[in-house]
Amino acid sequence: MLIHSRPPFSRLPSGHRSQQQIGRHTAAGTMARCEKSPPPIVLLFSVLVCSGCGSAPDLETSRLFQSAEQIFSDADSPAEFVEAATVYQEILDSGFLSGTVFYNQGNAWMRAGETGRAIAAYRQAQRHLPRDPYLDANLRTALAGSQLPTGGAMLDYIFFWQSAVSYNEKLILTTVLLAMALLLAMSYQLNRRRIALKRIAYATMIPLVLSAAAVGRDWQQYEQTVRGVVVAETTARKGDSETYDPAFLQSLSDGTEFEVINLRNDWIHARFRQTGTGWISSQDCVTY
Amino acid sequence: MAAAVLLSKHVNGGHESVRFAVHRMQIAVRTLVTILLVLLRTAAASVTCAAQEPEIVVEVDRQQLYEGESITYRITLNHVEKPAPPQLSGFDRFEVVSLGEQSLNSRQITIINGRRSEVIRRGHQYNYRLTPTEAGQFNIPAPTAVVDGQTLVGRRIAIGVIAPADQDVVLLEMKSSKAIVYPMQPFTISLTVAVQQLPNELSERSPLSVQGGDPVHLSVPWLDDDQVPSGLSPKIAWDDVMNPLVSRSAGGRRGSDGMRVNNIDRQSAFSIFSGGAMVFLPPSVRTTRTNGDGERIPYVEYTFEREFTPQTSGTFSFGPVTMKGMFGTELSEGKLDGEQIYAVAKAITVVARDAPPEGRPSSFSGGIGVFNVTASLNPVSASVGDPLTLSLRIQGRGTLAEVRPPDISSIPEVSQFFRTYDATEATQDNAREFTYSVRPLTTDVREFPAVPISYFDVENEDYVTVSTAPIPVKIKAARQLSASDIVSQQATGTDSRLEVSEAGIFANHSNLQDLRASDVSISRWLMMWFGMLMVYGLTSFGLVRYRRLHSDPLERRRRSAKSHAADSLRLAEQHQDSAQKECLDAMNLAVTGLIADFNRVSSAGMTSRDAAARLHAVGADASMQDRTAAFLDTCDAARYGATEKGTSDLLIDCRRLVNDLGRELEKRC
């Protein structure tokens, strides 16, 4: 390996410091550090924001990404688009989860004619790129103009911004609000005569609770619920084998979305929105 | 007096000032006058220019010429701001060719010894070439020009056109292979120069080889590309026509064999190849002709030919052709006598007429030549009402620019099954393409029918009809729109023509800067939140604790009990040798104060029994209680001299007791 990464906080051996350096560091150096270094709250927020920016790809991931892009741009046949989608999957399998990669993979599946897989990729990209208009347009195209799932419940009215803010952004927002509330509460404890601090702290609690609840909804939706998309026309059955009767009068088409209820013997017990449940073979769908 | 002196000084000093001011004023006035004079001169010059009346000046390069020759006719409009081309009416006796126009506007400023003169000229010049069509003495009519609503009339110029003498030494004959042609139908103009054979023993010699250094001159306008009538396309460029005709005979004192043509000489680009005056000698044949007296006269005939193709219909004039020079006519006493000859061949015309109306088919496209046509339709599979693009491509040789788009709506098979729209036109290399938009009206149609296109074939001088091949199409029924499918459309604004296409997908995100991992680990965030809450809780607890400790006076007293006892002990040490009573009191206070501070009671009046009771109340050891009570009793006894222990011993006992008591009370309270 020719490229060596520098540790983020490298230390010099103690023997390399002279007494003069130490003296200067302990006296004037402390003063200078106090004058130049930002306040702790700024540092805290910087750390929070930076933690939400996501990590940059390493060299191998960048190379794979560019390779996938090249295959995609040169592709003329569905098989070549499938190859591009496979390279994108390789990036994802390496643990590098990115909305851009999901989006591009969805495009590759779309160009390959794999609408169901494209929908699955777009849905996952939505978690990371909730406000990307191109992603929204392509997902609508993949869904062939059908309505995107909407709730309509009271909670959806309260959390109208739920789909406009990503999971990561909600976590950052919640953390910032929590820090603000704690700092305000602490400030009030130090100076109890400032009632305004107390009121602001209580006021901060409202968005904090809403934000935390939104995080909980996302956690429930993304980490506790397994979803899936039908990738080949198939028939949902009432049990986990082909011997069971069909669950619906119609077959399931490519791109039909569902929630996974249970998994048994390579058969998935799926709940289809506003329709019912049925069992489908895991080979006819992808889950995420 | 002082005031008078001051005034006098002021006046004396004022003379210099006034003199200087006058001098400056004189300079300023002189400068002003100079500027005014310059302005007046400029204004006067402008006025003079403006006052000059517009005039028309007519000039010719010569007033005597032979029939067939041309003169340069120049019309100049002077003092005219906005010139208009003059009108040449009554020039029936002339063939008029415009040689272009040029502006004469100029402005010249001259400054000599500070004197500035300016000459402004406003004018425009028009040049023409006039070729008289007949001989005789007559006038060039006066031209007229309308300038700013004023009609300017030029002068008439008398010219003399000398008719060629009646001779049979040189005969010029010009003819066309066809008098009437169609556009794109080539024809050949030929000129025959028949020169009488030299007499007697010189008969075998070329009659064009005896002119010495002054060969005869031939003027043939249609051999010069610049003088070829517009609308005609020569098959071969003029230099390619003339180059093979260059005379191979040597020049020098005896001269060359041949003739000069169209002043092609050193001044022309053509002379670059030879480096001298160009003499041409076309192929010759010897013939005999019969003159008016019935005599057979031998001639040597030289022929020039050039093929032209009319690009459009019209009348094209060729000529006149002139030839002049010295020709040998008689041999007397061994010397050849010459005669100055001027010969003219009158102009001929060729008419290129449009395709004949007789037998013209309705599908005639206007094209004359030879063409073929192909058609393409895209897409070939559509629904009823969908737009299809029909492209008709006509290519070949002929008047492509004249080809009009065929009216496909007049074809019954087309109008029955398709709605058609106007075509767009485009011209490419040797091809013309028409693009139609058509919409199928029914699902019954199986093919787009053949489109016939007719053109006039100039070779066969007849109309020819060619057709495109039928194009198979697959038309299906259109989808019926439901009410929910119908969306309103903005009625105004140019952007309303644009409709967003919902089909297709948008491009990839290919920028590496956008590539960021954004996976979420909720446990990490929960740990962070928990840490923040813990920090807050601990900080709050510490804060409360600190506040509680620092705000209760009894607590503060308890915390400072040991230090108070130490203070009392130090006081006792100070009074150990000097004042026994104060020393004993201080030791007593150290012990009772320590107990009182930890029990948050007053130490005043506390006896040994009280102290033991307090210690008992807090749960101290019985030995500690007894020891404390015993020490306090000993102190009391020492105060009255009833004990054998000295003050120093008591002080040591007190220090030990305070230390032990302090630890015990800290543990119990």
- pLDDT given for residue B478 in this prediction: 76
CA–CA gap between residue A73 and residue B172 (Å, rounded): 75
| pLDDT tier, B494 (very low <50, low <70, confident <90, very high otherwise) | very low
Question: Among the ranges A159-163, B35-39, B439-443, which has the highest mean pLDDT value?
Answer: B439-443
Whether residue B109 lies within 8 A of chain A, CB to CB, comes out as: no
Tokens 């702790």, located at residue: A40
Same domain, A199 and A239: no
- pLDDT given for residue B22 in this prediction: 55
Which residue, of B476, B500, B523, is where some domain finishes? B476
Q: What is the CA radius of gyration of chain A?
A: 26
Question: Using the beta-carbon criterion (under 8 Å), do B514 and A168 form an inter-chain contact?
Answer: no
**Of A137-146, A150-159, B74-83, B540-549, the least confident:** A150-159
In one letter, which amino acid is B507?
A: A
- pLDDT given for residue B250 in this prediction: 55
Quote the tokens at residue B516. 């960021």
Task: Judge residue B644's burial from the number of C-beta atoms within 10 Å of its C-beta, 0-12 exposed, 13-18 middle, 19 or more buried.
Answer: exposed
Q: How far is B487 from chain A (nearest CA, A)?
A: 14
pLDDT tens for residues A63-81?
A: 899 999 999 988 888 899 9
Look at B666 and B643; give whichever has higher pLDDT.
B666
Quote the tokens at residue B302. 């030289």
Question: Using the beta-carbon criterion (under 8 Å), do A54 and B533 form an inter-chain contact?
Answer: no
- For residue B234, what are the contacts with CB-CB under 8 A and spacing of at least 6? B225, B228, B306, B307, B308, B309
Look at B6 and A261; give whichever has higher pLDDT.
A261
pLDDT tens for residues B567-602?
A: 999 999 988 888 788 898 899 999 999 999 888 888
Same domain, A63 and A136: yes
- For residue B114, what are the contacts with CB-CB under 8 A and spacing of at least 6? none
Domain for residue B190, yes or no?
yes
CA–CA gap between residue B625 and residue B322 (Å, rounded): 162
Residue B406 near residue B449, CB atoms below 8 Å? no
Whether residue B489 lies within 8 A of chain A, CB to CB, comes out as: no
**Of B458-462, B640-644, B663-667, the least confident:** B640-644
The pair phi, psi for residue B306, each rounded to 5°, is -155, 135
Domain for residue A6, yes or no?
no
Domain for residue A214, yes or no?
yes
Same domain, A66 and A84: yes
Whether residue B491 lies within 8 A of chain A, CB to CB, comes out as: no
Interhelix angle for A167-190 vs B522-551, to 10°?
Answer: 0
CA–CA gap between residue B92 and residue B551 (Å, rounded): 130
Q: What is the number of structural domains in chain B?
A: 5
CA–CA gap between residue B197 and residue B465 (Å, rounded): 55
CB pairs under 8 A between A and B: 97
Look at B105 and B41; give whichever has higher pLDDT.
B105
Q: Which long-range contacts (CB under 8 A, 24 or more apart) does B244-253 make?
A: B245/B280, B245/B281, B245/B282, B245/B304, B246/B274, B246/B278, B246/B279, B246/B280, B246/B281, B247/B279, B247/B280, B247/B281, B248/B281, B249/B209, B249/B279, B249/B281, B251/B213, B251/B276, B251/B277, B251/B279, B253/B212, B253/B213
Same domain, B181 and B272: yes
Same domain, B658 and B639: yes
Which residue, of B303, B327, B352, is where some domain finishes? B352
Give B349's strand partners. Answer: B317
Same domain, B580 and B604: yes
CA–CA gap between residue B303 and residue B321 (Å, rounded): 13
Quote the tokens at residue B571. 């006081």
Closest CA relative to residue B330, chosen from B191, B203, B515: B203
Look at A43 and B563; give whichever has higher pLDDT.
B563
CA–CA gap between residue B365 and residue B396 (Å, rounded): 13
Same domain, B572 and B661: yes
Q: How much is the mean pLDDT over chain B?
A: 82
Residue B266 near residue B276, CB atoms below 8 Å? yes
Same domain, B181 and B281: yes
3 state SS of B162: strand
Which residue, of A142, A168, A183, is where some domain finishes? A142
Of B520, B532, B536, the CB nearest to A171: B520
Which residue, of B139, B159, B179, is where some domain finishes? B159
Look at B112 and B612; give whichever has higher pLDDT.
B612
| pLDDT tier, B490 (very low <50, low <70, confident <90, very high otherwise) | very low
Same domain, B333 and B369: no
Domain for residue B298, yes or no?
yes
Same domain, B38 and B59: no
Residues of chain A in contact with residue B508, where contact means CB-CB under 8 angstroms, are 69, 72, 103-104, 107
Domain for residue B548, yes or no?
no
Look at B574 and B110; give whichever has higher pLDDT.
B574
Of A100, A140, A142, the CB nearest to B509: A100
Residues of chain B in contact with residue A50, where contact means CB-CB under 8 angstroms, are none
- For residue B543, what are the contacts with CB-CB under 8 A and spacing of at least 6? A189, A190
CA–CA gap between residue B393 and residue B434 (Å, rounded): 6
Domain for residue A211, yes or no?
yes
Closest CA relative to residue B561, chosen from B525, B597, B533, B588: B597
Residue of A nearest to B506 (CA): A134
**What is the pTM for the complete model shown?**
0.42
Tokens 């009809």, located at residue: B465
- For residue B349, what are the contacts with CB-CB under 8 A and spacing of at least 6? B179, B315, B316, B317, B318
- pLDDT given for residue B234 in this prediction: 92
CA–CA gap between residue B417 and residue B600 (Å, rounded): 115
Closest CA relative to residue B306, chosen from B460, B175, B171: B175
- pLDDT given for residue B629 in this prediction: 92
H or E element at residue B551: helix B522-551
- For residue B145, what are the contacts with CB-CB under 8 A and spacing of at least 6? B56, B75, B77, B83, B84, B85, B86, B87, B151, B152, B154
Domain for residue B617, yes or no?
yes
Touching B: A residues 182-241, CB under 8 Å: 182, 185-186, 189-190, 215, 219, 222-223
Domain for residue B382, yes or no?
yes
**Of A15-29, B119-133, B140-154, the least confident:** A15-29
pLDDT tens for residues B435-481?
A: 898 889 888 888 999 999 999 888 888 899 999 999 999 988 876 65
pLDDT tens for residues A202-243?
A: 899 999 999 999 999 888 888 888 999 998 888 899 998 888
Touching B: A residues 15-74, CB under 8 Å: 53-57, 61-62, 65-66, 69, 72
Domain for residue A95, yes or no?
yes
Residue B384 near residue B442, CB atoms below 8 Å? yes
Return the residue in B484, B509, B526 with the most chain A beta carbons within 10 A, the one to mutate for interface testing: B509
Question: Using the beta-carbon criterion (under 8 Å), do A57 and B512 form an inter-chain contact?
Answer: yes
Signed CA dihedral, B525, B528, B532, B537: sign only: positive
Question: Using the beta-carbon criterion (under 8 Å), do B506 and A138 form an inter-chain contact?
Answer: yes
Residues of chain B in contact with residue A103, where contact means CB-CB under 8 angstroms, are 508-509
Residue A146 near residue A113, CB atoms below 8 Å? no
Question: Using the beta-carbon criterion (under 8 Å), do A61 and B506 form an inter-chain contact?
Answer: no
Domain for residue B437, yes or no?
yes
Quote the tokens at residue B430. 């040797």
What is the domain-level CATH number for residue A92? 1.25.40.10
Same domain, B339 and B385: no
Question: Using the beta-carbon criterion (under 8 Å), do B533 and A107 form an inter-chain contact?
Answer: no
Same domain, B437 and B383: yes
Of A66, A110, A185, the CB nearest to B505: A110
pLDDT of A9 > 60? The answer is: no
Touching A: B residues 539-578, CB under 8 Å: 539-540, 543
| pLDDT tier, B668 (very low <50, low <70, confident <90, very high otherwise) | confident
- Edge to edge, the sheet with strand A276-281 lists A276-281, A267-272, A257-264, A227-230, A285-287
- pLDDT given for residue B49 in this prediction: 45
Domain for residue A76, yes or no?
yes
Count CA within 13 A, CB hemisphere, residue B254.
Answer: 5
Of B517, B518, B525, the CB nearest to A175: B525
Same domain, B445 and B583: no
Which residue, of A102, A117, A142, is where some domain finishes? A142
Same domain, B264 and B376: no
- pLDDT given for residue A264 in this prediction: 87
Closest CA relative to residue B183, chosen from B428, B401, B13: B401
* B610 to B389, B562, B616: CA distances (angstroms): 120, 19, 10
- pLDDT given for residue B658 in this prediction: 93
CA–CA gap between residue B280 and residue B256 (Å, rounded): 9
Whether residue A99 lies within 8 A of chain B, CB to CB, comes out as: yes
Whether residue A104 lies within 8 A of chain B, CB to CB, comes out as: yes
Q: How far is A46 from chain B (nearest CA, A)?
A: 15
Question: Using the beta-carbon criterion (under 8 Å), do A134 and B532 form an inter-chain contact?
Answer: no
Predicted complex ipTM: 0.73
Of B505, B520, B522, the CB nearest to A107: B505
| pLDDT tier, A269 (very low <50, low <70, confident <90, very high otherwise) | very high
3 state SS of A204: helix
Question: Using the beta-carbon criterion (under 8 Å), do A95 and B519 form an inter-chain contact?
Answer: yes
Q: How far is A189 from chain B (nearest CA, A)?
A: 8
- For residue B653, what are the contacts with CB-CB under 8 A and spacing of at least 6? B631, B634, B645
Residue of A nearest to B520 (CA): A168
- pLDDT given for residue B577 in this prediction: 81
Q: What is the CA radius of gyration of chain B?
A: 64
In one letter, which amino acid is A48?
A: L
- pLDDT given for residue B41 in this prediction: 58
CA–CA gap between residue B210 and residue B3 (Å, rounded): 118
A159-177 residues labelled b (16+ CB within 10 A) or e (exposed):
beebbebbbbbbbbbbbbb
Same domain, A168 and A131: no
Enclosing domain of residue B33:
15-49
Domain for residue A116, yes or no?
yes
- pLDDT given for residue B359 in this prediction: 86
Q: What is the number of structural domains in chain A?
A: 3
pLDDT tens for residues B395-433?
A: 888 888 788 888 898 898 898 889 888 888 888 777 888
3-state secondary structure B314-372: EEEEECCEEEEEEEEEEEECCEEEEEEEEEEECCEEEEECCCCCCCCCCCEEEEEEEEE
Residue of A nearest to B540 (CA): A186
pLDDT of A38 > 60? The answer is: no
Residues of chain A in contact with residue B518, where contact means CB-CB under 8 angstroms, are 54, 97-99, 128, 166, 168
CA–CA gap between residue A123 and residue B539 (Å, rounded): 43
Closest CA relative to residue B297, chosen from B379, B207, B362: B207
Strands B314-318 and B296-310: unpaired
The pair phi, psi for residue B42, each rounded to 5°, is -60, -45
Same domain, A91 and A125: yes
pLDDT tens for residues B290-327?
A: 888 888 899 999 999 999 998 888 899 888 899 988 88
Of A95, A104, A182, the CB nearest to B532: A182
CA–CA gap between residue B179 and residue B95 (Å, rounded): 20
Residues in chain A: 288
Enclosing domain of residue A281:
227-287
pLDDT of B23 > 70? The answer is: no
- pLDDT given for residue A124 in this prediction: 92
pLDDT tens for residues B222-255?
A: 988 888 888 888 999 888 888 888 887 755 555 6
- For residue B438, what are the contacts with CB-CB under 8 A and spacing of at least 6? B387, B388, B389, B390, B408, B414, B418, B419, B420, B421, B448
pLDDT over 90 percentage in chain B: 23
Question: Using the beta-carbon criterion (under 8 Å), do B518 and A141 form an inter-chain contact?
Answer: no
Q: How far is A175 from chain B (nearest CA, A)?
A: 7
CA–CA gap between residue A284 and residue A266 (Å, rounded): 10
Residue of A nearest to B510 (CA): A69
CA–CA gap between residue B556 and residue B537 (Å, rounded): 25
Question: Using the beta-carbon criterion (under 8 Å), do B515 and A53 form an inter-chain contact?
Answer: no
Domain for residue B314, yes or no?
yes
Which residue, of A202, A223, A244, is where some domain finishes? A223
When pLDDT is averaged across residues B77-85 and rounded to a whole number, the result is: 86
Question: Using the beta-carbon criterion (under 8 Å), do B515 and A171 form an inter-chain contact?
Answer: no
pLDDT tens for residues A116-135?
A: 999 999 999 988 888 898 99
Residue B471 near residue B417, CB atoms below 8 Å? no
Domain for residue B521, yes or no?
no
Whether residue B514 lies within 8 A of chain A, CB to CB, comes out as: yes
Residues of chain A in contact with residue B504, where contact means CB-CB under 8 angstroms, are 141
CA–CA gap between residue A284 and residue A276 (Å, rounded): 18
Residues of chain A in contact with residue B537, where contact means CB-CB under 8 angstroms, are none
Of A61, A62, A219, the CB nearest to B522: A219
CA–CA gap between residue B518 and residue B497 (Å, rounded): 41
Residue B593 near residue B628, CB atoms below 8 Å? no
Same domain, B152 and B194: no
What is the domain-level CATH number for residue A234? 2.30.30.40
Closest CA relative to residue B448, chosen from B477, B405, B413, B406: B413
Same domain, A68 and A129: yes
- pLDDT given for residue A23 in this prediction: 34
pLDDT of B192 > 90? The answer is: yes
Whether residue B506 lies within 8 A of chain A, CB to CB, comes out as: yes
Question: Among the ranges A7-11, B19-23, B567-571, which has the highest mean pLDDT value?
Answer: B567-571
> Which of the 8 DSSP states describes residue B280?
B
| pLDDT tier, B566 (very low <50, low <70, confident <90, very high otherwise) | very high
